[in-house]
Structure 1
Amino acid sequence: MPVEPTEPRRRRVDAERNRRRILTGAREVFRDHGVAATLNDIAHHVGIGVGTVYRHFSDKEELIDALFDDMVETVDGYLREALEEPDAWLGLTRALERTCEVQAFDRGLREVMLGTGRGPQRQRQMRDRVAPSVDALVARAQEQGTLRADVVPPDFAVVQLMLGAVSDHTGQPELWRRYLVLLVDGLRARPENVQMPELQASDDAMQEALAASSARSVRDSKSGR
């Protein structure tokens, strides 16, 4: 006979289910309303009492951190899967596409994640978590001769920034896919590749510049520029 779950275990399961419902609802509310959304708005959207939300998240910033952690875990999972793919080029380009899909969330959610004072810190957290996998993916693809030898790992952060700008400036959320094909084609190793100029900035300097650019972009979108 199946064993009935104990009451403490049932409470833990119910609590985790509520937490997932809150995170799912928060994504939807933040996408629609940006930083103006409150925990009350989220509770109403999910159909639970606001007290339940506060039992899981003491304030909005803690909830945003949980959303961001979820995103980082998703991206890191894609990269780990890519490292298990024997064809390094396929793994790398598939991970790039899936990561761009994750980061193609609309402006409201990006505003919430990057538009607060913790935006640069969150971007550094993302880099620290995924950088070793990106380094390994780049090295494997170059060893297999499919990725051009003059590409360096920080180039991929710039590629993602460029693809995000396509949607931001055109208002077409899926247009980035067209230009991903173009950029991926330029990453492929070929005998006729023209040597790229060397990247002059350090990885840290590049990441600081990209974090500042993202925060500036969010501020501009909030001010209606």
Structure 2
Amino acid sequence: MSTTDSAPGLERPLRADAARNRELILQTARKCFAERGISVTLNDIAHEAGVGVGTVYRRFADKDSLIEALLATKFEALNDAAARAAEEIDPREALRVYLMGVFEFRARDRALADAIVRAGTSRPSIVQERDRLEAQVTEIIHRAEQAGVVRVGFDYRDLPLLTTMLGAVADATRDTDPYAWRRYAQVLIDGVMPPAAPERLSGTPLGREALERAMRPTT
């Protein structure tokens, strides 16, 4: 028996078919959570992926373990967005690029807010990624403060609620006008960083029928 076979705590590499199934499950879960939110079940994911429920449970003991596996990729994407924004020379543009990036991420992904909330109780590597994101974005905001282009008192901790506000618009208008959220993202960004001169809002307001559909409570 080899050392790898006998040593406790060492995981054998997944067979090729098992590795493919795991990646398929992750991709399907990412899509389902983004489109329908965190209420999606493992059975739903198995059906959508075209695999047996037992296959899902062999890879992930429960939904929480699957969500945790996806958390790492979400924070990686957010940290990448922050790093790209930080490369902007103009402090105002750096903050605008990050805000628009995270708003767009939330507009596509209904599960983003829940994922961020869950990060605090996740494994240390994910908590570390969350803390790295906070440090990166705080520095972007600090640069904007130093340049005098952001409202005094704006803080990294304001972002989850701003993102939730934008997400509510995106969710309500997704079927009517999938890009309506951009208009209201501009309103939020201008609230955080008032422009020197008024700028025209992007897009147009929803028509009466579309607005009524968007505002109608979901069942």
2:81 match: 78
Instruction: Tell whether the 8 Å contact from 1:149 to 1:189 is kept in structure 2 after alignment.
Output: no
d(CA) in 2 for partners of 1:38, 1:101:
25
| Aligned length in residues | 181
Instruction: Tell whether the 8 Å contact from 2:103 to 2:185 is kept in structure 1 after alignment.
Output: no
d(CA) in 1 for partners of 2:102, 2:116:
18
Unaligned stretches of 5+ in structure 1? 1-7, 193-220
Name the SS for the 2:137 alignment partner: helix
d(CA) in 2 for partners of 1:168, 1:93:
22
Unaligned stretches of 5+ in structure 2? 1-11, 122-126, 198-216
d(CA) in 1 for partners of 2:63, 2:73:
15
- Percent identity reads 38
TM-score, scaled to structure 2: 0.63
1:55 match: 58
1:184 match: 189
d(CA) in 2 for partners of 1:159, 1:15:
40
Instruction: Tell whether the 8 Å contact from 1:92 to 1:141 is kept in structure 2 after alignment.
Output: yes
Give, as a single letter, the amino acid of the residue that structure 2 aligns with 1:45: E
Structure ranking higher in helix proportion: 1
- Residues 19, 90 of structure 1: CA spacing in aligned structure 2 closer, same or farther, 3 A cutoff? farther
Deviations along 1:5-29, one digit per CA (max 9) or x if unpaired, are xxx87x5666554333211111333
Which range moves more in the overlay, 18-27 or 153-162?
153-162
- Residues 21, 162 of structure 1: CA spacing in aligned structure 2 closer, same or farther, 3 A cutoff? same
Instruction: Tell whether the 8 Å contact from 1:148 to 1:190 is kept in structure 2 after alignment.
Output: no
Instruction: Tell whether the 8 Å contact from 2:103 to 2:163 is kept in structure 1 after alignment.
Output: yes
Which range moves more in the overlay, 67-76 or 160-169?
160-169
Give the 5 Å matches for 1:128-147: 128-147=131-150
2:119 match: 122
For the aligned residue pairs, the C-alpha RMSD in angstroms reads: 3.6
2:163 to 160, 163, 188: 160
1:39 aligns with 2:39: no
1:29 match: 32
Deviations along 1:24-63, one digit per CA (max 9) or x if unpaired, are 1113334566566443432332233444423321212211
Instruction: Tell whether the 8 Å contact from 1:89 to 1:147 is kept in structure 2 after alignment.
Output: yes
